[in-house]
């Protein structure tokens, strides 16, 4: 009797909670190894599993504590590149904000599973626990990807699976559905083994993970041309194009001219040339000499040029321009989702009072654009987006719905040096190609850059910090993947379900207290 009692002493309770905190810490930290560039993808299952069991069986407020540890380490370990130029403050601030959001959804999920365990058991409980965990995980991704100030749509689980068959799930329902299946499979396997360790449950647990990797292989992905092909050339200038770099005006422009000359010297044919974000670091419209210099270049190559630059009209914009030979600028796209605290400062007076030195470094504010990102070249619609917009679900989806037959992703990764940021962004670009069913050209100022077909096949690449070009004939496609129809309603369904379950949890906890 005394031995049984000893298992429930305050010391043993504190030890068990300490072990939970360690599990949360280790689980969140594994994100550093799981996501690109290291990309040790099998550890993703262990990462999700450790985070889940760290709060399994806990009530809400204890789950909050565990969730804060897991959420902070999950984000900080994979996005340390935020501290490249501005020090640790932005990394700590963003990771702490994301940890609070993570802990809120995580604690609600854990507390709800704990409550439901009183009413269900066996395989039924395992399925319910897996479904609830997956619902809250995806709902949290939606919330943190949209709030506050447009959110931080990064760190989706499927971004670690670009080299596995699991990545094919985004064709079916985008990143939200893929992450739902990942969390569901992992938690189901864990619950089956915990509820009743047996050969049968062990086989069922194995089947859940095997199904996660095998079933996507049956999806009918295709990269076949549906409206001909287009030869798209893209140039990587390898220029120091960082926001805070001390550079001479026009140096980035000259570097991309040199990369273009490398292409022209080969004599290769192409239909359109694409330069990355910020490739033209000149005032084109305020200085006639700069305008003529670009005009002469485009007339010399005698092909349309799509390039990134900064334009000052009524406001300041991060812009992609379509420039045609003998015609000049005929169309443009202003970035619709500028990045908060990088391209503009929301509530500048408030944040400037809190961190004047950091906020003072960003003396300008890019305004969001209102034009679509569709350019017409040789009668074909090309969809363009800028940098981090590749991570925002509705930006590529709107391009496809607008008729884009190929997607151009123009980016500038200079501010993140040789960190993992560019590789994580490239992984997202590959997933977007599969999700949208479109070939995707991801061209960076410093690389790495790559071209992906609609089935995720990489057909061309440029290494980081090299000057060069890609010239790829890509198939043009007009059909829509299931994801283009499913992502939005599925995300809303999951988010509203999480809200309803949270209300149920709150009401069911309040009613007994009111009766007392």
281: β partners = none
From 97-101, 150-154, 197-201, the region with the lowest mean pLDDT: 197-201
Comparison of pLDDT for 130 and 246, the residue scoring more: 130
Output b/e per residue, 440-465; b: 16+ Cβ within 10 A. Answer: bbbbbbbbbbbbbbbbbeeebebebe
Residue 200: pLDDT over 90: no
Q: Are 191 and 121 in contact (CB under 8 A)?
A: no
Contact 434, 382 (CB under 8 A): no
pLDDT (tens digit per residue) in 134-186: 999 999 999 999 999 989 999 999 999 999 999 999 999 999 999 999 999 99
User: Residue 511's pLDDT band (boundaries 50, 70, 90)?
Assistant: low
Residue 3 predicted with pLDDT over 80: no
Q: What pLDDT score was predicted for residue 255?
A: 94
N-term to C-term CA, the chain: 33
Q: What is the number of alpha carbons within 13 Å of residue 210 lying toward its C-beta? A: 6
* CATH superfamily name and code, 229-337+371-481: Carbon-nitrogen hydrolase (3.60.110.10)
Q: Across the chain, what does the average pLDDT equal?
A: 92
- Contact between 335 and 63 (Cβ < 8 Å): no
Mean pLDDT of the region 499-515 = 81
3-class SS letters over 261-302: HHHHHHCCCCCEEECCCCCECCCCCCCHHHHHHHHHHHHHHC
Instruction: Tell me if 78 sits within 8 A of 37, measured CB to CB.
Output: no
- Residue 363 exposure: Cα atoms within 13 Å on the Cβ side: 2
Do 384 and 410 form a contact (C-beta atoms < 8 A)?
yes
For range 287-294, the mean pLDDT: 85
* Dist. CA 242–CA 140, nearest whole Å: 31
Strands (E), 114-243: 229-236
Evaluate whether 431 touches 421 at the Cβ level (below 8 Å).
no
**pLDDT band at 6; cut points 50, 70, 90:** very low
C-alpha span between 32 and 44 (Å, rounded): 10
| Confidence band for 1, pLDDT divided at 50, 70 and 90 | very low
- Name 409's bridge partners: 385, 442
Contact 459, 440 (CB under 8 A): no
Burial class (CB in 10 A: 0-12, 13-18, 19+), 500: exposed
* Contacts of residue 466, Cβ cutoff 8 Å, sequence gap at least 6: 236, 238, 447
CB within 8 Å of 312: residues ≥ 6 apart: 283, 285, 286
Q: What is the percent of the chain where pLDDT is above 90?
A: 76
pLDDT tier, 31 (very low <50, low <70, confident <90, very high otherwise): very high
Point out the least confidently predicted range of 13-22, 157-166, 390-399, 447-456. Answer: 13-22
Distance (Å, whole) CA 311 – CA 316? 6
Inter-residue contact 18 to 64 (CB < 8 Å):
no
- Cβ burial of 319 (10 Å; 0-12, 13-18, 19+) is buried
Output the pLDDT for position 128.
95
pLDDT of 14 higher than 90:
no
* Residue ranges covered by each domain of the chain: 7-220+487-515, 229-337+371-481
The alpha carbon dihedral of 119, 123, 127, 129 has a sign of positive
Over residues 253-267, mean pLDDT = 95
Instruction: Answer for the pair 110, 86: CB distance below 8 angstroms, yes or no.
Output: no
* Position 341 confidence tier, pLDDT thresholds 50, 70, 90: confident
Phi/psi for 127 (5° steps) reads -65, -45
| Residue from 169, 170, 155, 142 nearest 436 by CA | 170
Per DSSP, what are the bridge partners of residue 382? 375, 406
3-state secondary structure at position 419: coil
Q: How far apart are CA 175 and CA 157, in angstroms?
A: 8
pLDDT tens digit string along 67-78? 999 999 999 999
With helix as H, strand as E and coil as C, how does 211-242 read?
HHHHHHHHCCCCCCCCCCEEEEEEEECCCCCC
Question: Is pTM beyond 0.85 here?
Answer: yes
pLDDT tens per residue, range 382-436: 999 999 999 999 999 999 999 999 999 999 998 888 889 999 999 999 999 999 9
Q: Which of 42, 48, 78, 27 is nearest to 424 (CA)?
A: 78
Residue 474: CB partners within 8 Å, gap ≥ 6? 229, 230, 231, 232, 406, 439, 441, 451, 453, 459
Give, in order, the Cα–Cα distances in Å from 44 to each of 180, 207, 212, 332, 472.
14, 17, 13, 40, 33
What local confidence, expressed as pLDDT, does residue 199 receive? 85
Q: Is it the case that residue 90 has pLDDT exceeding 90?
A: no
């Amino acid at each position: 009797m005394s031995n049984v009692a000893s298992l429930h002493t305050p010391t043993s309770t504190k030890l068990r909670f300490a072990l939970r905190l360690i599990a949360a810490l280790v689980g969140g930290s594994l994100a550093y190894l799981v996501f690109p560039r290291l990309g040790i993808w099998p550890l993703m299952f262990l990462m999700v599993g450790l985070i889940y069991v760290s709060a399994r069986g806990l009530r809400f407020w204890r789950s909050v504590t565990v969730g804060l540890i897991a959420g902070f380490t999950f984000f900080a370990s994979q996005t340390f590149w935020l501290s490249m130029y501005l020090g640790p403050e932005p990394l700590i601030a963003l990771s702490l904000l994301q940890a609070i959001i993570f802990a809120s959804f995580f604690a609600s999920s854990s507390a709800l599973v704990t409550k439901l365990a009183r009413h269900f058991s066996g395989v039924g409980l395992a399925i319910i626990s897996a479904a609830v965990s997956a619902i809250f995980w995806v709902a949290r991704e939606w919330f943190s990807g949209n709030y506050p100030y447009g959110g931080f749509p990064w760190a989706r689980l499927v971004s670690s699976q670009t080299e596995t068959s699991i990545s094919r799930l985004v064709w079916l329902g985008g990143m939200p559905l893929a992450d739902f299946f990942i969390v569901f499979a992992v938690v189901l396997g864990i619950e089956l083994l915990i509820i009743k360790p047996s050969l049968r449950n062990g086989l069922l647990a194995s089947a859940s993970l095997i199904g996660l990797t095998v079933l996507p292989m049956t999806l009918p992905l295709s990269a076949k041309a549906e409206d001909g092909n287009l030869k798209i050339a893209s140039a990587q200038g390898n220029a120091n194009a960082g926001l805070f770099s001390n550079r001479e005006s026009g140096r980035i422009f000259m570097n991309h001219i040199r990369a273009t000359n490398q292409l022209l010297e080969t004599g290769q044919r192409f239909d359109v040339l694409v330069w990355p974000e910020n490739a033209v670091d000149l005032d084109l419209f305020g200085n006639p000499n700069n305008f003529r210099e670009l005009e002469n270049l485009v007339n010399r190559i005698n092909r349309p040029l799509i390039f990134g630059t900064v334009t000052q009209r009524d406001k300041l914009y991060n812009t992609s321009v379509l420039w045609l030979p003998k015609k000049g600028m005929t169309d443009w796209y202003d970035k619709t989702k500028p990045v908060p605290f990088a391209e503009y400062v929301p509530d500048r007076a408030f944040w400037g009072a809190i961190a004047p030195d950091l906020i003072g470094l960003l003396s300008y504010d890019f305004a969001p654009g209102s034009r679509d990102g569709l350019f017409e070249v040789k009668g074909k619609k090309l969809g363009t987006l800028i940098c981090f917009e590749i991570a925002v679900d509705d930006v590529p989806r709107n391009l496809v719905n607008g008729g884009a037959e190929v997607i151009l992703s123009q980016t500038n990764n200079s501010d993140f040096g040789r960190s993992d940021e560019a590789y994580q962004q490239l992984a997202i670009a590959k997933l977007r190609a599969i999700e949208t069913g479109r070939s995707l050209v991801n061209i960076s100022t410093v690389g790495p850059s790559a071209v992906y077909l609609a089935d995720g096949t990489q057909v061309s690449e440029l290494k980081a910090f090299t000057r060069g070009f890609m010239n790829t004939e890509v198939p043009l496609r007009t059909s829509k993947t299931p994801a283009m129809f499913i992502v939005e309603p599925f995300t809303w369904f999951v988010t509203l379900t999480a809200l309803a379950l949270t209300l149920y949890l709150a009401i069911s906890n309040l009613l007994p207290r009111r009766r007392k």
